[in-house]
Homo-oligomer: A and B are copies of this chain.
Amino acid sequence: MKNDTVLNIEVEQIKASKIDQVDFDNLDFGKVFTDYMFVCDYSEGEWKKPEIVPYQPITIDPSAKVFHYGQAVFEGMKAYKDDNDDVWLFRPDENFRRINLSSQRLAIPEFPEEFFFEGLKTLLQLEKNWIQKGFGNSLYLRPFVIATEPGVSASPSSDYKFMIICSPAKAYYSGEVRVKIAEKFSRAADGGVGFAKAAGNYAAQFYPTSLANAQGYQQIIWTDASSHEYLEEAGTMNVFFRIGDKLLTSPNNDRILDGVTRKSVIALAEDAGIDVEVRRVSVKEVIEAAENDNLKEIFGSGTAAVINPISGFAFQDKKFELPKLEDSYAGYFKKTLMDIQYNNSEDKFGWRYKI
Contact = CB atoms under 8 A, between A and B. Distances in A.
A70 to B, nearest CB: 3
Contacts of A74: 67-68
B67 A72 contact: yes
Interface string A169-200: 00000000000001011111111110000111
Contacts of A165: 62-63, 152
B188 A70 contact: no
A30 B30 CA distance: 35
Interface in A39-79: 55, 57-63, 66-72, 74
A149 to B, nearest CB: 10
A71 B106 contact: no
Given A58-B62, A142-B63, A202-B154, A192 B191 contact: no
Contacts of A205: 154
Interface string A191-226: 111000011111111110010000000000000011
Contact of A185 (B107, B147, B152, B191): B191
Contacts of A225: 189-192, 225-226
Interface centre among A55, A150, A199, by most chain B C-beta atoms within 10 angstroms, is: A199
B68 A142 contact: yes
Total copies of this chain within the assembly: 2
Given A60-B60, A165-B63, A198-B200, A68 B155 contact: no
A95 interface: no
A203 B142 contact: no
A353 B270 CA distance: 67
A264 interface: no
B207 A106 contact: yes
A15 interface: no
A140 interface: yes
Nearest to A227: B226
Nearest to A65: B203
A156 interface: yes
A85 interface: no
A124 interface: no
Contacts of A199: 66-70, 200
Interface centre among A107, A140, A152, by most chain B C-beta atoms within 10 angstroms, is: A152
A208 to B, nearest CB: 8
Contact of A60 (B29, B58, B105, B235): B58
A5 interface: no
B70 A203 contact: yes
A190 B226 contact: yes
Given A33-B63, A63-B33, A186-B191, A207 B104 contact: yes
Contact of A203 (B55, B72, B184, B203): B72
A202 B68 contact: yes
Given A198-B203, A226-B226, A66 B69 contact: no
Given A152-B165, A186-B190, A225-B226, 10 more contacts: A31-B150, A33-B63, A57-B61, A68-B72, A68-B144, A71-B206, A72-B203, A190-B225, A191-B225, A193-B200
5 contacts: A28-B153, A31-B150, A57-B59, A58-B60, A69-B199
